[in-house]
Structures are given as C-alpha cells and as structure tokens.
Amino acid sequence: MPLPAQNLYRSEPVGDNPAARLLAFVQAFRAIPGPRDANRTTVGEAIGYILEADLSLRADLHREVALIVDLPRQARSAIEQRPEAIPPRFAHELQAVENWLRFLNNLDQPCVGPARSLADDAVKALEMCAELLSLNAPEQVATPDVLQVLRDDANDLIEQVLATGLHPDLATLLVDHLHLIIKALDDYRLSGAQATRAASDQAFGAIGRARAMGQVDEKGAKWSDMVWQYVGRVANLAVIGQAAIDAGHVLGQLGAPPHAQ
C-alpha cells in the first residue's frame, strides 16, 4: 500500500513541549499503513515520508532519527523541572516509548511490525504527559508557515550575499551561519527552539567577533547588519516569557557596537 498523499505531521502546528513532539511522531508512524504486497514499506521509507527527508542523504536521515530518539530524555527533564504539577510517574512511563524507539536502529526492516508494537496504554500515557506539560511547562512554538518564511528569507540572504562581492572571508562566514540556521529550522519540529537557539548564538558570536577584530569594512557592515537582524528574528523563536532579544545589547556585550539598529 502506498504512503498517504498528505503528510499531516508536517502540516500541523509544532508541539509546544518534547512530549508533544514525540507524540506527533508516534501517531504519524503508527498511522503508516501496513504492507499488502512484496514491496513493503521500510522503516527508513516511513521516516523519510514523515520527516520529509531525502532518503539518498542517509546522514541527514540519521541526524533526524537521533533527534527523535532524544525526545524522551527531553520530556523527562521537563517533567522533573515541574514536580509540583506533573506526576513523576510519567517520567517512568516514557521508558516504554523510549524502548519502542529502538526499532530506529534498523531502517531497512518493514515498518509494519514497529508500527503495531507500541501498546495503546503507552500512547495514552504519552498523550496525558504532553497535555500536562503543555499546561504547566509550555514552550514557545512556531507554526510551519513561520518556519518556512524564515527559511525562505535565509535562502534569499544567501543569494544576495554571494552576489554582492563581499570580502570572501566575510561572505563565507555569513553564508555558513545562514546554512546552519536553515538546518536548525529544519530540526525545529523535533528539537523545538533548542537548535535555533544554538545556531543563532553561534551567528551572533561570529559576527560580533568579526566586527570587534576589524574584519568588516563599510560594504560588509551593511550586509552583516542585515544578517544580524535576521538572526535576531530566529533567536526570538527561542525566547520564552521574555521580550524580543535586543540585538544591540547583545552585540554591545561582545564589545563591538552595531552598525545599524
């Protein structure tokens, strides 16, 4: 049986905590139809469909699988931070889901076995855990549309930076960090703001150091400012219960005043 034409996993809003993200993956994988003929869907093919990953890029597929496998640990950590509101038993019940995820070690096996092997009770416990975390320890979330806009803007900036004739070292620095941000945006559905936080921090630091060391000329200042402002938008995905990041303040802390606010 072919995979469904519509991938609901990608079209729905991102879960606002790691248990919700794990639940979304579990539900999507369990919804994969079982094979009806010799051309059986493999675990790798199912994962590629759910995550919209290119199966020919095996390293990228394994990277996203690693993010999935880490979700139970993230969920347990979130539970432990709110013991007064979330029963600790949910941290233990996540172990059943974590054990189930071991099937991801063999991407070439038929997916129908793992898809049917997780007990309904474990899924119900995961649903309750996701709801409690959403109520008591929610994360700021971004919709797929917001993520796509940010991704498109990063690609536009890359094209413009490469066409502007900047000093090669500065152009490489800006483009490399924009590529890292694109990868972080692609990971957002699984990692939440964790990946975008790390990528934006690295970009802020790299641009700030280049300015402080006098490596940015007048022409480069304009484009480093544009990338800086874009990185600030990405950084805001990681801000929970705070005002938007003040890029000027951050850069000032790095010892180099921004060229533009």
Name 42's bridge partners.
110
Of 99, 101, 74, 93, whose CA–CA distance to 20 is shortest?
A: 74
Q: Per the structure block, which two tokens stand in for 151? A: 């991704």
24-56 confidence digits (pLDDT tens): 889 888 887 655 444 578 888 888 888 877 777
Confidence of residue 244 (pLDDT cuts 50, 70, 90): very low
- The answer on pLDDT for 11 being more than 80 is no
Of 15, 47, 48, 26, whose CA–CA distance to 193 is shortest?
A: 15
Task: Give residue 247's Cα distance to chain centre.
Answer: 22
Residue 12 carries which side chain, given as an amino acid letter? E
165-199 confidence digits (pLDDT tens): 888 999 999 999 999 999 888 888 777 777 888 89
3-state helix, strand, coil in the chain (%, to 5): 70, 0, 30
- Size of the chain, expressed as the number of residues it contains: 261
What is the value of pTM for the model shown? 0.69
Q: Per the structure block, which two tokens stand in for 208? A: 């700030």
DSSP per position, 37-80:
SSSPPBHHHHHHHHHT--TT-HHHHHHHHHHHHHHHHHHHHHHH
Q: What is the mean pLDDT of residues 210-232?
A: 88
Task: Give residue 98's Cα distance to chain centre.
Answer: 19
Q: What is the mean pLDDT of residues 129-157?
A: 86
